[in-house]
Amino acid sequence: MDESLILWGILLTLTALGLWLEHRFRWAARLGSSLIILILAAVCANVGILPQQSAVYDTIYDTITSLAIVWLLLLVNLQDVGRLGRSALLAFGLASFGTLVGALLASVLFHSRFLGDTPRLAGSLAASYIGGSLNFVGVGRALNLSDLLFSAATTADNLLTAIWLATTLSLPSLLARFYPPQEEGEAVTVTSLPTASAIAPLDLGILLSLAVAVLALSRALHRFWPLIPTLVWLTTLSLALAQFQWIRYLRGMGALGMFGLNLFFTVIGAGTHVPSLIPVGMEMILFTTVIVFTHGLVTFGLGVLLKLDVELLALASQAAVGGPTTAVAQATGRHRPQLLGVGITLGLLGYAIANYLGLALAQVLGWIGLG
């Protein structure tokens, strides 16, 4: 019996189960599919159903995840960014800056606990709280973040993202009197997030061939210029390719990308030793809390000085911390349909820049002696 084939079957089943639970039950939607899948895989590994190591894991960790990053970055249409106003871009700039300040502060406060892993952890979480899961996974892999820290950070990340969404939904009402009233802006029309679209065979073939070509070229360029990580080449080439008009007619990028990323979390869960996770859990939650709440203080504090709209600041904050999907939830929850397009575009802009900023922050932390 082919053990690797059985393992593939189990991992794919766990991924499908996690996605189904998220779709079917409200409590699961709050947890998020990535955390559910990680927990399911960790339980299976710790009771002996899944092996701790396998060549299958290496394939998913290295190749499948890279392809997923390419597919999701192909959603980023930089022309949409040009349609945003100065205020929206400035608000997102403050949100990104706040995340970097928070990651730096957390690194200083918790360096004695995480030691050499501090830059890896800070860079990965900064990428997550500027972009999203694809950036967290991409930067974490590029920086060789351990499975243990990946698991702990994923748990803390999901918890803080949920808390912050609840916070940003209430903050505009609480803080409105400190911010100047703003006129209603025009709605921004952007490309939607096609995670549930039907995938035609031709589109599937083109997306597979494009992603493999981008990955192969990125690895080749890294061999020629070893100082530039493969992830930087992967991000840059994917974003360049995404600007061609014909790319937007391909269906299935979002679905393929999200499934590949969720499959990655089965590998992280399988490599997690639960008894080892418990001691680091609380410190990881505190680490992420410092990042997110510093992000909030910087975003809303500088925003009031620059006289930005509090609703726009909350949207930009959520686009950074949670990504495009939670930005949509923010606009919907605040009954601001005209901000839906802005939220999606800012979230996709985060996808585009977060890998670069996360890697740069990790490098800087190493230079100043926090590594």
45 neighbors 277 (Cβ within 8 angstroms): no
Can you give the C-alpha Rg of the chain in angstroms?
20
Mean pLDDT (whole number) for 209-228: 94
In a 13 Å sphere around the CA of 151, the CA atoms on its Cβ side amount to: 26
In a 13 Å sphere around the CA of 356, the CA atoms on its Cβ side amount to: 10
- The single residue listed with the structure tokens 């899961």 is 133
- Identify the pLDDT of residue 186: 46
Q: From CA 2, how far away is CA 4, in angstroms rounded?
A: 6
Q: From CA 234, how far away is CA 141, in angstroms rounded?
A: 13
Q: What percent of the chain has pLDDT over 70?
A: 93
64 or 175, which is more confident: 64
Q: From CA 38, how far away is CA 149, in angstroms rounded?
A: 13
The four Cα atoms 307, 312, 314, 320 give a dihedral, to 10 degrees, of: -110
Is residue 272 left, alpha or beta, with left meaning phi > 0 and alpha meaning psi from -120 to 50?
Answer: beta
Mean pLDDT (whole number) for 308-318: 92
Q: From CA 267, how far away is CA 51, in angstroms rounded?
A: 10
- Residue 46 — very low, low, confident or very high, per pLDDT cuts 50/70/90? confident
128: its two tokens:
């997550």
Q: pLDDT for 149-187, tens place per residue? A: 888 888 888 888 878 888 888 888 888 888 877 655 444
229 neighbors 214 (Cβ within 8 angstroms): no
310 neighbors 303 (Cβ within 8 angstroms): yes
pLDDT higher than 60, residue 34: yes
> Which stretches does DSSP call E strand in 78-237?
none
The total number of residues shown for the chain amounts to: 371
Q: pLDDT for 270-303, tens place per residue? A: 877 666 667 777 889 999 999 999 999 999 999 9
Task: Check the CA dihedral 127-217-364-88 and report its sign.
Answer: negative
Q: From CA 121, how far away is CA 152, in angstroms rounded?
A: 10
- Identify the pLDDT of residue 290: 96
Q: From CA 363, how far away is CA 66, in angstroms rounded?
A: 21
56 neighbors 11 (Cβ within 8 angstroms): yes
- This prediction's pTM: 0.80
Q: From CA 71, how far away is CA 23, in angstroms rounded?
A: 22
pLDDT higher than 70, residue 231: yes
- Identify the pLDDT of residue 194: 52
231 neighbors 141 (Cβ within 8 angstroms): yes
Mean pLDDT check: name the lowest of 43-57, 211-225, 320-334: 320-334
Q: From CA 129, how far away is CA 281, in angstroms rounded?
A: 19
pLDDT higher than 70, residue 264: yes
Q: How far is CA 304 from CA 179, 181, 297, 300, 346, in A?
A: 6, 11, 11, 6, 20
- Residue 193 — very low, low, confident or very high, per pLDDT cuts 50/70/90? low
pLDDT higher than 90, residue 128: yes
The angle at the Cα of 341, spanning 25 to 159, to the nearest 5 degrees, equals: 40
Average pLDDT, the chain: 87
- Identify the pLDDT of residue 335: 76
Q: How far is CA 205 from the centre of its chain?
A: 26
Contacts of 317 (CB under 8 A, 6+ apart): 95, 98, 164, 168, 295, 296, 299, 300
Mean pLDDT (whole number) for 191-218: 82
Task: Count the Cβ atoms, other than its own, within 10 Å of residue 181.
Answer: 7
- Residue 92 — very low, low, confident or very high, per pLDDT cuts 50/70/90? very high
Q: From CA 44, how far away is CA 271, in angstroms rounded?
A: 10
Task: Check the CA dihedral 225-226-230-235 and report its sign.
Answer: negative
Mean pLDDT check: name the lowest of 71-75, 173-177, 362-366: 173-177
